[in-house]
Structure 1
Amino acid sequence: MDLDDVDERLVRALQEDGRASYEALAKLVGLARSTTKARVRRLIDDCGLRLIAAIHPAALGLNQLGHVIVEVDGPAGPVAERLAELAETSFVTTTAGRFAVTAELRTKDLATFSEGLAKVQAVPGVRSVQAMTFLQIWKDPYFPPGPLESPGPLGDIDLDSSDHALLEHLRIDGRASFADLASVSGLSPGATRARVLRLLEAGVVHVGALVRLNQLSRIHTIGFALTLSGETAPVAREVAGFEEVDCFATGIGWCNGIGTIRATTYDSVFATLERLRDLPGVRSVESWSHLRAIKEEHDLARPLTCAPSE
């Protein structure tokens, strides 16, 4: 189903805040509340829009993140499917470019990341693997930027069984009412509301529209890798400021930084790549087009991997 400009604006607004009120959304797009609500329901029911809670990896005990690119012998599809079966992979896509598959790994530490990487290398059909371990997230629509170090966004927050029940329910239905959430948390609606707001404000969870490779949007999703000739931070700050750059992380490995461009036209994609190439300190830019998401980190079928604390 084709989306018009109003639909696109609603999708972008819901990506930023999936629990935004219909009144706020109506004001944004200049329509009546009832019309806006009907639009959102159509996006969800007919277009497949998902409004879910993205849980910060640190809340699940996952403090080591990284990106891998995979070259294959033969068809890429079976390789991607096998990679998606690995518990360590949080995101797997097929691509158009020098390599056929990309993936993100999330593990508790560097040792388990190395074990996950070995599993990737052992998948039949994998010819070669190059990895970059993340040191810092500079931009991401699903959780706050910053260094990847424990305790991450948790700070002094000690998540209990009620918190984990809320997170598990929100990851399926990000717009669930506080009354519905109270039924799974074991708390009153008022106490549930306070818990949810605390989790949101601390950056433990972000509720938004999952749109990275969602076919309902007319957006081109392009990955890119930067190799730098000097300090990383000055370039990273510039890159994070690009409106078209959806996410960007820096680290150690085959490149210095990995990111994603989301743009409505290929002209805009090209212009953004040209701006990246023109940045002082950028030695080279490699890019690829994401074709299909084989596994999303927010797959509804994927259960929480961290047991609730008592």
Structure 2
Amino acid sequence: MDDIDARLIHALQANGRMPAVELAKVAGVSRAAASQRLERLLLEGSLQIAVLPNRQVDGRQWAAHVLARPSAGAANPVQHLAAHPAVGFLSVASGDFGLVAEIRASDFTTLAAEISAVRENPAIERISASIYFEVRLDRLALNDEMAFVPDQIDRELIALLMHDGRRNYSSLAKALGMSTNAVRNRTLRLIDGKVIHIGALARRRANDHELSLGVGISASGESAPLVTAIESVPQVEFLALSVGTFDIVATVRAASRTEATEAIDAIRSLDSVGSITTWIHLDVVKDLYGPTDSCFS
């Protein structure tokens, strides 16, 4: 991935449906070259154009952070877990467990069943789970107040965009039995009304330029001041209060190993931190910030 790819990704993070002619201007290449680069990034899995629904319309309000240890000698469970609709996030990670997943469900009973299904997988030796009861910070989520409540047609449109965030308006119109202009207007209204955001998600791999780390914290005292202090660490992009293995689960994104070390040291030195466990996301296999299609159909 070179500087041109980086410029394309940055532009698509802000607007995942940016036309090729505008992408070409941003990247400083021809329209054909911009289209070819985008196609390559998508095909090789380095980039995903994702539809991020507002939390207010996400039908899966329950979530759990799960560390999973593959069984020695068993088939690799990564692809099986990645194919599971309840698994919204999955990474191969450093540390004792080796796999990190986020499981999402519409209610606690379903969430418990999904966690049990992972535990009972013969390719998984052991799991360690923490159930979120409050997400305090999520820089990748859409938390703004919605300008309106989406209707059934909006939800059908969102479901189609979940499969392909850059699907052209004429194809969407044909699928919905509407005019192209009507679909274009609805899509722009959903985006402008903060109901959805369509943007690029770059597949995260550990490298010398950027690191994504998971942090599990057990508190030894009052948690409220601790949570506030962790939120103030600039590299923290996700923070949730949980019950289970950890009292707090966080994600740290750092531009270098030095920056990552400083961020972890800053968290470790805070009052009320009893113990801290960290792992590096070596390869993020699945990263879907939104509900399943069934929530919009």
- TM-score under structure 1 length normalisation: 0.76
Q: Structure 1 CA distance, aligned partners of 2:162 and 2:278?
A: 31
* Kept after mapping to 1: 8 A contact 2:70/2:98: yes
Equivalent in 238, 253, 266 of residue 257 of structure 2: 266
What root-mean-square deviation, in Å, do the aligned CA atoms of Structure 1 and Structure 2 show?
A: 3.6
Residues paired across the two proteins, number: 293
Q: How does 1:168-187 map to 2 (within 5 A)?
A: 168-187=159-178
* Kept after mapping to 1: 8 A contact 2:206/2:282: no
Q: How does 1:85-96 map to 2 (within 5 A)?
A: 85-96=83-94
| Cα 1:291/1:103, change in 2 over 3 Å | same
For 1:74-101, what per-residue CA distance to the aligned partner results, in whole angstroms no more than 9, with x for missing partners?
Answer: 1586233333343422222221112111
Q: Structure 2 CA distance, aligned partners of 1:25 and 1:307?
A: 30
Equivalent in 151, 172, 182 of residue 159 of structure 1: 151
Structure 1 partner of 2:96? 98
**Unaligned stretches of 5+ residues in structure 1:** 147-152
Mean Cα displacement is larger for which, 240-249 or 88-97? 240-249
**Unaligned stretches of 5+ residues in structure 2:** none
Q: Does 1:280 align with 2:278?
A: no
Q: Structure 2 CA distance, aligned partners of 1:257 and 1:39?
A: 45
- TM-score under structure 2 length normalisation: 0.79
Mean Cα displacement is larger for which, 210-219 or 88-97? 210-219
* Kept after mapping to 2: 8 A contact 1:83/1:123: no
**Alpha-carbon shift at residue 286 of structure 1 (Å):** 1.4
Please state whether the residue corresponding to 1:200 is helix, strand or coil: helix
**Alpha-carbon shift at residue 230 of structure 1 (Å):** 3.9
Q: Does 1:305 align with 2:297?
A: no
Q: What is the percentage of aligned positions where both structures have the same residue?
A: 25
Please state whether the residue corresponding to 1:236 is helix, strand or coil: helix
Q: Structure 2 CA distance, aligned partners of 1:230 and 1:92?
A: 31
For 1:188-243, what per-residue CA distance to the aligned partner results, in whole angstroms no more than 9, with x for missing partners?
Answer: 45543443344335544221111242699953222221222344444434434444
Q: How does 1:70-219 map to 2 (within 5 A)?
A: 70-74=68-72, 78-145=76-143, 157-160=149-152, 162-201=153-192, 203-213=194-204, 218-219=209-210
Q: Structure 2 CA distance, aligned partners of 1:129 and 1:184?
A: 42
* Kept after mapping to 2: 8 A contact 1:61/1:108: yes
Letter paired with 2:191: L
| Cα 1:215/1:156, change in 2 over 3 Å | same
Q: Structure 1 CA distance, aligned partners of 2:170 and 2:187?
A: 12
Q: Structure 2 CA distance, aligned partners of 1:228 and 1:124?
A: 33
Structure 1 partner of 2:57? 59
* Kept after mapping to 1: 8 A contact 2:11/2:26: no
Q: Does 1:3 align with 2:2?
A: yes
**Alpha-carbon shift at residue 43 of structure 1 (Å):** 4.0
Q: Structure 2 CA distance, aligned partners of 1:233 and 1:13?
A: 37
| Cα 1:209/1:67, change in 2 over 3 Å | same
Q: Does 1:254 align with 2:245?
A: yes
Q: Structure 2 CA distance, aligned partners of 1:37 and 1:235?
A: 49
Q: Structure 2 CA distance, aligned partners of 1:51 and 1:14?
A: 8
